[in-house]
Structure 1
Amino acid sequence: MPETDLDLLIRAAHEAGRIATRYSGREAQRWDKPDGAGPVTEADLAVNAMLEQMLPTARPGYGWLSEETEDSGARLDRDRVFIVDPIDGTRSFADGSRTWAHALAVAERGVVTAAVIYLPMRDLLFSAAAGGGAFLNGDPIQVSAPADLAQAHILAARPNLLPEHWIGRTPPVFQRDYRPSLAYRLALVAQGRFDGMLTLRPSWEWDIAAGDLILREAGGLCTDRFGAPLRFNNARPRLAGVIAGGNTVHGGLAAALDPAGLGIASH
């Protein structure tokens, strides 16, 4: 039986974990990218090299978009594309934390159809294929359903609560938590451990693509900050923020956000 896209991503994620965990986060060589784009380590590059060889070899007709590969634009002519973050949460990896992840996805005509988020240091593998549900280590997962936004635990960086983002310059009341990896935040919401996730800054597709499908297959909603469905493989691969959660949480956050709010939150 031919290997499905999801099976391929799972196999690739395990190999990525084997490579990344050979490096000690604090001792791995680290560089800062130009223009304040953040750090990159030798582990990011080693994982990316493996994925860029393995995945397109298995699917030669697919395009390629990765944080650690210079984007040529050739992917725009392909119906299907791999969207990859070799290590999401590089700062956490470099600090010796365990909350970094490999985020791998396939998008078809702008919609994610297969996705994996793998945290090798925590032995957590989140996965989904379109129409097949969402899973953590093979067990089904589902978003939570708090009675209202005030009871919700939302993963969001503090700058997202700045007044300029919200109608009446008043953020809604909810309990705020934070995790450094965007992919992991989305996976935690899909798992039901947290009730929602919010980021208002422009977000790279490779940080979001895998979590978008996993969360939607877990019964949640995942949109940009204006409530529009997320579309991937754009010429400029950035999204206008992300709101994610079950119906009540997503609706409460979307209704409270000022559609004209132009403040740029970090994280």
Structure 2
Amino acid sequence: MLEDSWALVRDNLDQTVSLRREITWKPDGSPVTQADLFQEKLIADFLRARLPDVTLIAEESYVAGQDMQSGWVAVLDPIDGTENFCSGLKEWGVALSIWRDGAHQGSALMLPEMGDILMSGMSIPTYKSRIVGLSSSYNAEIGAILADNPEGRVMGCAVYNMYNVIRGAYARFVNPKGAYSWDLLAGVALAHEAGCAVFLEGEPYHGQFLDPDKRHRVDIWHRHDLHPGQGPVG
């Protein structure tokens, strides 16, 4: 089903990209495009056809109070990094995480304009980077990390950041201000599967479902020797 979702996104990429200039603004001042809405419906319809009783938790249509602990649940961010997307950048992604009765079944991080995907069950060739990826939701902790690390990156897309830390192209990704489950769940589940050191709210992550009604502070470390003699992170 994850592979078919990826095929669906790729097959409709031209239509998605054609809508990137059709922008409205949320109450918090952030953009939402017609592409966000188009792609959410596209994937939601696909999931409901395959899993008729699925509970869908998606960024643009989520309603609080749904039963999230029984049956099939899909957590979807149809376009993560909308600011990048509507600015004409290719660093945006799609996050999909599928659960059943509170247990993780599989997740995917998709980067459609880059042609890249990372999903459960894939073999992941890894790198040994010292780059630290940081959330664009700035706060003082991010400033301190940038000051202390000569190779910080602020890319504006959680999917892109988590894709890179899982494969070791980043040594670390940190969002100390917090983001919602549709931004993070697929990535933290995949990072946990891959053996990264994953922390939520400063505590080790053990593969649990994330409450969609709150923001979650995340810190992911790829376990490798960043510098000679330092030893494995985490």
Report the CA distance between 1:113 and its aligned residue: 2.8
Match of 1:185 among 150, 153, 161: 161
Q: Over residues 144-164 of structure 1, what are the superposed CA-to-partner deviations in whole Å (9 max), with x where a residue is unaligned? A: 567xxxxx3210147767269
CA offset at residue 111 of structure 1?
Answer: 4.8
- Within 2, Cα distance between the matches of 1:68 and 1:18? 22
Give the structure-1-normalised TM-score: 0.73
CA distance in 1 between counterparts of 2:137 and 2:83 reads: 19
Kindly tell me the number of residue pairs found equivalent between the two proteins: 228
Following superposition of structure 1 onto structure 2, how do residues 153-232 of structure 1 map, counting pairs within 5 Å? 153-157=131-135, 162=140, 173=149, 175-229=151-205, 231-232=208-209
Q: What secondary structure is seen at the aligned counterpart in 2 of 1:201?
A: strand
**Match for 2:163: what amino acid?**
A
By how many angstroms is 1:65 displaced? 0.2
SS in structure 2 of the partner of residue 34 of structure 1: coil
SS, match of residue 24 in structure 2: strand
2:47 paired residue number:
55
Tell whether 2:88 aligns with 1:112.
no
Q: Deviations over 1:34-88 (max 9, x none)?
A: 233x211111101111112110221123311000113142233534310000011
> What are the Cα deviations for residues 122-144 of structure 1, in whole angstroms up to 9, with x where unaligned?
1101111xxx4xx3xxxx21555
| 1:211 alignment partner, SS class | helix
Q: State how 1:2-151 maps to structure 2 within 5 Å.
A: 8-24=1-17, 28-36=21-29, 38-76=30-68, 78-128=70-120, 132=121, 135=122, 140-141=123-124
Separation in structure 1 between the aligned mates of residue 73 and residue 54 of structure 2, nearest angstrom: 5
**Which of structures 1 and 2 has the larger relative contact order (alpha carbons within 8 angstroms, sep 6+)?**
1
Asked if structure 1 preserves the Cα contact closer than 8 Å seen for 2:55 and 2:72, the reply is yes
Q: Which whole-Å CA distance do the structure 2 matches of 1:164 and 1:88 have between them?
A: 20
Instruction: Calculate percent identity across the aligned residue pairs.
Output: 21
State the SS of the aligned residue for 1:102.
Answer: strand
After TM superposition, give the deviation of residue 95 of structure 1 in Å: 0.8
CA-atom RMSD in angstroms: 3.2
Partner of 2:215: 238
Structure 1 segment 248-259 matched on structure 2, within 5 A: none
Q: In structure 2, how many angstroms separate the alpha carbons of the residues matched to 1:163 and 1:125?
A: 30
User: Tell me, which stretches of 5 or more residues in structure 1 are unaligned?
Assistant: 1-7, 147-151, 256-267
Given that 1:223 and 1:243 are in contact with CA atoms closer than 8 Å, whether structure 2 keeps it comes out as yes
Q: CA deviation digits over 1:205-236, x for unaligned, max 9?
A: 01111111222222212221412426425261
Distance 1:64 1:226, change over 3 A: same
User: How far off its partner does 1:248 sit?
Assistant: 6.6
Shift in Å, 1:177: 1.5
Q: Structure 2 vs 1, CA of residues 77 and 209 (structure 1 numbering), >3 Å: closer, same or farther? A: closer
For residues 94 and 147 of structure 2, the distance between their equivalents in structure 1, rounded to whole angstroms, comes to: 32
Q: Offset at 1:180?
A: 1.6
- Which runs of no fewer than 5 residues in structure 2 stay unpaired? 226-230
